[in-house]
Amino acid sequence: MASAAEQLARNLSFSTFSKAKALQQRIWFTLGALLVYRLGTFIPVPGIDPDAFRATFEQSQQGIIGMFNMFAGGAVERMAIFALNLIPYITASIVIQVIATASPRLEALKKEGEQGRRKLNQYTRYLAVVFCAVQAYGIAIGLEGSQGVVLNPGWFFRLSTVITLVGGTMFLMWLGEQITARGVGNGISLIIFAGIVANLPGTIAQTLELSRTGALPAWAGIGLLVLAIVVIAVIVFFERAQRRLLIQYPKRQVGNKMFQGDTSHLPLKLNTSGVIPVIFGSSLLLLPATIASFAAQGNAPGWLTTVTALLGRGQPLYLALFAFFIIFFAFFYTAIVFNPTETADNLKRSGGFIPGIRPGERTAAHIDYVLTRITVVGAAYLTVVALIPEVLVSQLTVSQFIGGTSLLIMVTVTLDTVSQIQSHLIAQQYEGLVKKSRLGGKRR
């Protein structure tokens, strides 16, 4: 039998959306915030020659810089104020979460509720400023080393570049938090999503132009299109896949009435971590590679050039590190968001149990066992989706945007945002039904 929420979801219509004024305001706010972000990607950093930098960028856009430009929504190729995007903030979040697992003080903050989370977020912002300043300074040095890019090299340019890029990232952090609180969806993910989607038409046009000129064989263009469709279908399937554990509730007596035992399910998503491992893995790879790639355009030491080459797109070291980070963060983030012991305790307090499994520690161990097994499948799925297209696309030397990482982010963020919109509509419809029932009761 379908649940009440499922029945409400089936009855959703356009009329329900037209009545949901609060949801419409949230959607308009989200679109307005993303429009502000897109406008910022066209405002260049002061003190550079845009044409000279564009010529320099075109020489290295197929490597790791092309991937960074993808996350930044094209801001890197224009050296805009949002060129660093949210990569330093995401990297800082990773570091804080990893430290929190080993630091008793930070672990205690996580258990303090909303106040503890605010302190952790504050620490994350401070660390993000440090990462952002280091990257911005490295970019400033790299720009000065490029011939004709900087109009007036010197400490004033370096300082203004650091302040501009750090300020841009801090603004995006604030904007993402506002989208999460007052809009629809996760603000950080939506900003990255908007950057990828905004560059998608140009990427498709570039691929078609390569096919027209013969630089890309026709069979390769068709193969990439088929591959993209298959990858999207795989992503949707795995993101919707669940492992449902049967939960049984015993008979209970309330007063003189005896209620029959009930059954339900504990849904465990095959990919509990979502797109987080891919974003985290990409961010960690981009942190050292960004400085190395920009600095390598000037008078850089030999080891920076070596790092840039080894972390190039499609290189074995890049693929190996990317796969390791995806698998690590798939298990790490799943352990953070889902606690088997807490779930088992909640089931025990409510009288529920898994048939054949004792309540308490045995139930927690069983849930952890099942969760570990499905996380192995989820991590393997993320690795394959992220790496296989990367290898093929790098061999064909076409744009980064049609790779597995970009498709994974686009599809996952879309599914999450649509799910949140449906939740708002269901809540709106449920409130309407409650009001009708109350009015009916008063008339009687």
Least confident piece of the model among 82-96, 151-165, 220-234:
220-234
- The band of 126, judged by pLDDT with boundaries at 50, 70 and 90, is very high
Q: How, if at all, do strands 252-254 and 257-259 pair?
A: antiparallel
**What's the distance, CA 410 to chain centroid?**
9
Confidence at 33, pLDDT banded by 50, 70, 90: very high
pTM of the model: 0.78
CA angle 316, 320, 326 (to 5 degrees): 145
Range ranked top by mean pLDDT from 17-26, 111-120, 182-191, 306-315: 182-191
Lowest mean pLDDT among 52-56, 68-72, 362-366: 68-72
Contact 270, 242 (CB under 8 A): yes
Round to whole Å and give the CA distance between 281 and 329: 8
**pLDDT-above-70 percentage for the chain:** 78
Q: What pLDDT, on a 0 to 100 scale, did the predictor assign at position 206?
A: 75
Report which listed range, 122-126, 150-154, 295-299, 387-391, is most confident: 122-126
| Residue ranges, CATH 1.10.3370.10, the chain | 20-201, 216-433
Query: Would you say residue 256 has pLDDT above 70?
Result: no
| Average pLDDT of the segment spanning 184-207 | 83
CA distance 187 to 174: 9
Q: Is 138 helix (H, G, I), strand (E, B) or coil?
A: helix
Pairing state between β 252-254 and 242-249? unpaired
In angstroms, the Cα distances linking 213 to 59, 233, 241, 402 are 20, 30, 42, 19
Q: What's the mean pLDDT in 317-330?
A: 88
Q: With 90 as the cut, is the pLDDT of residue 1 above it?
A: no
- pLDDT above 90 for 169: yes
Please provide the distance, in angstroms rounded to a whole number, between the alpha carbons at the two ends of the chain: 31
Residue 193 predicted with pLDDT over 70: yes
**Topology at the third CATH level for domain 20-201:** Preprotein translocase SecY subunit (1.10.3370)
What is the average pLDDT value for the chain, to the nearest integer? Answer: 79
Sorted by sequence, the CB contacts under 8 Å of residue 256 that are 6+ apart come out as none
Burial class (CB in 10 A: 0-12, 13-18, 19+), 260: exposed
**pLDDT-derived band at 303, boundaries 50, 70, 90:** low
216-433 — its CATH code?
A: 1.10.3370.10
Per-residue pLDDT at 260: 63
Whole-number Å distance between alpha carbons of 352 and 371: 19
pLDDT band at residue 394 using 50, 70 and 90 as cut-offs: low
pLDDT of 160 reads 93
Residue 2 clears pLDDT 50, i.e. is over it: no
| Lowest-pLDDT range of 39-43, 144-148, 233-237, 395-399 | 395-399
